[in-house]
A and B are shown apart, each in its own frame.
Chain A
Amino acid sequence: MSTDTPKEQGAMKSGPVRMADADFAADRRQNDMAGALRDYWAQVRSGDLGAIPAILGIVALVALFTALRPETFLTDRNIANLFTQALPVTILAMGLVFVLLLGEIDLSAGVTSGVCAAVMAKLIVDSGQPWYVAVLGAVVTGIVIGTAIGWLVAVIRIPSFVVTLALFLGLQGITLRLVGEGGTVPVRDDVIVALANKNMPVALGWALAAACAAGYAAVQLWRWRQQHSRGLSVKPLQMVVARVAVVAAALLGGTLLLSQDRAPSPLITLAGIPWGVLLVGVLLIACTFVLGRTPYGRHVYAVGGNAEAARRAGVNVTRIRISVFMIASTLAAIAGIVAASRLNSVTPSSGAGNDLLYAVGAAVIGGTSLFGGRGKARDAVLGGLVIAIIDNGLGLLGTKAYLNFLITGSVLLLAASIDALARRRRSSAGR
């Protein structure tokens, strides 16, 4: 502030108003690598952990299970299995991220997936509908359930955990009614079954992975150039390149793993990315775009951060609240379809087991806060992998069922503790 000469109070009204020089423009953050790393470290220390716990968890768990089951865990077949195992929970978790961003919860997401899967199966088996009609029926069912939850939470203002706890019970009744007590509806439609059980051609997998990596690089670099040329605050180019490299390596590495022949007998070949993984990839890109780059996404974060402030800024808070439950239930419907594809059937207990707990755990492990306002779509993918590794590893170890419950419950508690402690840390660091 270079021109700050104190003025006489009375003179101000008539005299020309002088504004102090803008030191703001020069007051930018350092754009070099060291500065950026320092910022990142400060951010982590203040409790903003991002993807770190999930990535550490993946590394540690893979090491642990490889050590315990060296001959079965890291085989190509088991890895492919692990990916398909992660699909339903990941998709469910991606929907829950939206709900958690508002600091709400949807305890009925798991059974919603069961109801929707039952609707789909009944449409195929009983009414002989083609798969796309059945899928549409399931998705519409999800939207209807989500609208009902959203309306009860946002308009009537019942706490979401009560509404969805009630639906958790009620919807199980509907699945039971649809499927019949002790019954099973088989799912044999080729397209539905292929979703979790068939792989795309190896060449197509490589082409898609390469296209995604190139697309990601192009978007990131274009954005960097855009900001740089307009003189806006930018991350250092090295940082952008590093991020692109990590994402590309993950994409191509995953494709390499899934392109190995994992057939149990040398007579046939079994290789390629499962179609369900592609589905998760598409959903991830869509949700990331919606949350990160659209006004709607900003409004979701805003309502989660401070609903009254959002309302005063002109955001329609009620509509945002209803919409996140609709998205969660729609994604739950898709998760239910994938789960039905994986198991080739729908039973009265579809979606009523651990799925919801796993999905909440996945979102929280991935870095989404239970307190609202923080979280990303990718959290569901990272956390979903962690959960699938635990589930898969424990299966290989042949642990007793009671231990499985204890361990999974502990993992969820651990993730929630990290979230709560990080939040305390943030508020004491003023973030």
Chain B
Amino acid sequence: MTPVLDLRGIDKSFGSVQVLHDVDFVAYPGEVTALVGDNGAGKTTLVKCIGGVHDLDRGEFYFDGVPVRPRSPRDANALGIEIVHQDLALCENLDIVENMFLGRERTRGLSLDYSTMEEEATRVLSNLSVRTIGSVRRPVAALSGGQRQTVAIARAVLWDSRLVVLDEPAAALGVAQTQQVLELVRRLADKGLAVVLISHNMNDVFAVSDRIAALYLGRMAAQVRTSDITHREVVELITAGRSGKLGLRA
């Protein structure tokens, strides 16, 4: 099975600070790959490199087996990569529909096709079972943190994509909503998409993922099948970078 996403030897520095060191990372279609690591391990940085927000310094980027190099979010979207950013990246002054279609508006002639956009947005949001959002024409500024998170997720699943990356999507969500997001993550994978889920919650990771990749101080400690690893081993990989014969060599 060719991986949808195959990164090899990724380096990324900000000025003199190297954040990612020789990182390999794979995501397969139909699977949920959990990306774990301590705060500051470089998860978000890796995600931004995948999404074209940052340009990577060195390394190979294969998408569906083809070497590519997304240099802007638009490039990444065109490949079929959708990202739910940790800091959400919504425009507070625009309403829910406008945010979901930002950059990829539906038009009829010169004019925006609001009706179609609203219908599609409503459909996706209904599938996410969003509650108490009220009208989809409400500005995002008027939404709670969890509702914003749902809008950000809805935006990512609106498009026909091959790879969906969610950077701590459940961070601001209540119990029921978290459950729904996990169900959605699973459903996306079952549809044949490659899904990457970043989370600090080991229960969620084990409940939903097929593979686990652990970053330790900007290095990929290990990427293994979830069924081949225990809870304790993952925690050791996250905190020490190694566990038994897994992980980085000392």
- B135 lies within 8 A of A29 (CB): yes
The answer to whether A314 and B92 touch (CB under 8 A), given A18-B183, A24-B125, A298-B112, is: no
Task: Choose among B103, B107, B129 the residue that contacts A23 (Cβ–Cβ < 8 A).
Answer: B129
Cβ contacts B133-145/A at 8 Å (1 or 0 each): 1111101011000
- B183 lies within 8 A of A17 (CB): yes
- A24 lies within 8 A of B89 (CB): no
A306: nearest chain-B partner, CB-CB: B91
- A232 lies within 8 A of B183 (CB): no
Shortest Cβ gap from B233 to chain A (Å): 17
A360 at the interface (CB under 8 A from B): no
- A20 lies within 8 A of B91 (CB): no
Task: Choose among B94, B176, B187 the residue that contacts A302 (Cβ–Cβ < 8 A).
Answer: B94
Cβ contacts A299-339/B at 8 Å (1 or 0 each): 10110111011111111100000000000000000000000
Chain-B contact segment, one of A5-13, A162-170, A405-413: A5-13
A272 at the interface (CB under 8 A from B): no
Q: For B125, what are the chain A residues with a Cβ–Cβ distance below 8 Å?
A: 24
Q: On chain B, which size bracket covers the interface?
A: 35 or more
Q: For A430, what are the chain B residues with a Cβ–Cβ distance below 8 Å?
A: 141-142
Task: Choose among A1, A25, A294, A304 the residue that contacts B176 (Cβ–Cβ < 8 A).
Answer: A1
A10 to B90, CA, bound (A): 33
Q: For A10, what are the chain B residues with a Cβ–Cβ distance below 8 Å?
A: 206-207
Shortest Cβ gap from A57 to chain B (Å): 24
- B74 lies within 8 A of A314 (CB): yes
- A305 lies within 8 A of B94 (CB): yes
The answer to whether A313 and B141 touch (CB under 8 A), given A18-B183, A306-B91, is: no
B7 at the interface (CB under 8 A from A): no
B104 at the interface (CB under 8 A from A): yes
- A232 lies within 8 A of B119 (CB): yes
Shortest Cβ gap from B93 to chain A (Å): 4
A310 to B93, CA, bound (A): 12
Q: For A373, what are the chain B residues with a Cβ–Cβ distance below 8 Å?
A: 91-93
Pick the most buried of A29, A232, A233, A374: most chain B CB atoms within 10 A of its CB.
A232
- A310 lies within 8 A of B111 (CB): no
Task: Choose among B88, B94, B139, B182 the residue that contacts A431 (Cβ–Cβ < 8 A).
Answer: B139
Q: For A4, what are the chain B residues with a Cβ–Cβ distance below 8 Å?
A: 176, 179
- B92 lies within 8 A of A306 (CB): yes
- B93 lies within 8 A of A12 (CB): no
Q: For A12, what are the chain B residues with a Cβ–Cβ distance below 8 Å?
A: 182-183, 186, 207-208
Q: For B112, what are the chain A residues with a Cβ–Cβ distance below 8 Å?
A: 293-295, 298
Task: Choose among B53, B85, B142, B208 the residue that contacts A13 (Cβ–Cβ < 8 A).
Answer: B208
Task: Choose among B102, B127, B137 the residue that contacts A313 (Cβ–Cβ < 8 A).
Answer: B102
Task: Choose among A304, A310, A426 the residue that contacts B103 (Cβ–Cβ < 8 A).
Answer: A310
B16 at the interface (CB under 8 A from A): no
- A233 lies within 8 A of B183 (CB): no
Q: For B218, what are the chain A residues with a Cβ–Cβ distance below 8 Å?
A: none
CB within 8 Å of A: which B53-67 residues: 53
A314 to B107, CA, bound (A): 16
The answer to whether A314 and B131 touch (CB under 8 A), given A24-B126, A431-B142, is: no
B134: nearest chain-A partner, CB-CB: A29
Cβ contacts B148-182/A at 8 Å (1 or 0 each): 00000000000000000000000000001001101
Task: Choose among A13, A294, A306, A314 the residue that contacts B77 (Cβ–Cβ < 8 A).
Answer: A314
- A19 lies within 8 A of B139 (CB): no
Shortest Cβ gap from A4 to chain B (Å): 6
Shortest Cβ gap from A292 to chain B (Å): 9
- A20 lies within 8 A of B129 (CB): yes
- A293 lies within 8 A of B111 (CB): yes
CB within 8 Å of B: which A376-431 residues: 426, 430-431
Shortest Cβ gap from B38 to chain A (Å): 23
- A295 lies within 8 A of B129 (CB): no
Shortest Cβ gap from B28 to chain A (Å): 15
- A25 lies within 8 A of B122 (CB): yes
Q: For A7, what are the chain B residues with a Cβ–Cβ distance below 8 Å?
A: 179
- A9 lies within 8 A of B93 (CB): no
A226 to B208, CA, bound (A): 42
Q: For B77, what are the chain A residues with a Cβ–Cβ distance below 8 Å?
A: 314
- B74 lies within 8 A of A27 (CB): no
Known: A18-B183, A22-B127, A315-B102. 4 other contacts (CB 8 A): A27-B132, A298-B112, A311-B53, A312-B89
| 26 sampled A-B residue pairs with Cβ under 8 A | A12-B186, A12-B207, A17-B183, A17-B187, A19-B184, A20-B176, A22-B126, A23-B131, A24-B131, A24-B133, A28-B135, A227-B118, A232-B118, A293-B110, A294-B111, A299-B102, A302-B91, A302-B94, A305-B93, A306-B91, A311-B73, A312-B53, A313-B73, A314-B74, A430-B141, A431-B139
Which A-B residue pairs are the 7 nearest by beta carbons?
A: A314-B103, A22-B126, A305-B93, A305-B91, A313-B103, A314-B74, A373-B93
